[in-house]
Structure 1
């Protein structure tokens, strides 16, 4: 199974880019967009001067508990710049969403509760809300994370979108919002050692 098939089996269709889109990012944005893969993982990420964005992180079920996810993230943490990523809100019918949040909480990520992120999937037409998590080695603010998300959305998510999908995603100002203390912290329940 190739790297794209692994991602496609794991991530919901509303979150997936087309293979053509990702191949083009790797080729045309090769100084920013990268793929790191091994037998048990696939990491797609964009590295900007002020932050790194994790587009997709897949760790094979049979290798969970071996520290592969932590080692993969450590490679990015060693760059000493903020790491931003999108996660699905907790869905208690899908235990992977809870495991994912617990993992990122253990890895020192914080929830950017003031950032709203909601976009329509071109593939399904559904509205898709995501939560923004970030790792801030230099105490970066949520405003800085918000600016990074806007740059990433315009440079990566919507890169040549009309060419790949026949239509464009909504403009960044319709997708990302910033409101102080807008939502509850989705990682709070995992930061209590009794729950871990």
Structure 2
């Protein structure tokens, strides 16, 4: 099974870029869009000057619980810049979503509660809500994480979208929102 098949079997169709999209990113944006793979994992990520964005992280069921995911994240953390990723909200009917959230929490990732993210899938037409998680070696603000997510959306997610999918993704200000008040709200 090739890397794209592994990702397609693991990630919901609403979250998947087409193979053509990823291939174009790997070819035309190769200075920033990277693939790290082995028989047991696939890691697709964006290496910007001041942050890293994890597009996809897949660890084979055969390797889960053996520390491979942690090793891959540690390799990215060693670069000393914030790491951002998108995850499905926790769905208590789907234990994988809860396990994923707990894994990233154990690895020091925080939930960017002030960032809203609702993207319409060009594959299904469905609006997909995702949560933004981030790790930072410094005390990076959620506003800074929001700006980096906007950059990722415009440079990576919507790259040649009309050419690839026949239509464009929505504008960044329709997809991502930042609400400073959420950060100030007291937690119960």
Shared fold, TM over 0.5: yes
- Report the equivalent of 1:130: 130
- Report the equivalent of 1:156: 156
List per-residue Cα deviations over 1:2-43 (Å, max 9, x = no partner): 000000000000000000100100000000000000111000
- Report the equivalent of 1:191: none
- Report the equivalent of 2:139: 139
SS at match of 1:20: helix
- Report the equivalent of 2:60: 60
SS at match of 1:89: coil
- Report the equivalent of 2:81: 81
SS at match of 2:177: strand
- Where structure 2 has 5 or more consecutive residues not aligned to the other structure, the ranges are none
List per-residue Cα deviations over 1:115-155 (Å, max 9, x = no partner): 00001111111110000000011111101100100000000
Q: Does 1:13 align with 2:4?
A: no
Runs of 4+ in 1 over 4 A off after TM superposition: none
- Report the equivalent of 2:121: 121
SS at match of 1:37: strand
TM value normalised by structure 2: 0.96
SS at match of 2:153: helix
TM value normalised by structure 1: 0.92
List per-residue Cα deviations over 1:34-63 (Å, max 9, x = no partner): 000011100000010110000000001111
CA distance in structure 2 between the partners assigned to 1:161 and 1:174 by the alignment = 16
SS at match of 2:23: helix
SS at match of 1:182: helix
How many residues were matched structurally?
185
TM-superposed deviation, 1:182: 2.8
User: Aligned ranges for residues 169-184 of structure 1 at < 5 Å?
Assistant: 169-182=169-182
**Does structure 2 retain, via aligned residues, the 8 Å contact 1:113–1:181?**
no
CA distance in structure 2 between the partners assigned to 1:79 and 1:125 by the alignment = 37
CA distance in structure 2 between the partners assigned to 1:93 and 1:124 by the alignment = 22
- Where structure 1 has 5 or more consecutive residues not aligned to the other structure, the ranges are 189-196
TM-superposed deviation, 1:70: 0.3
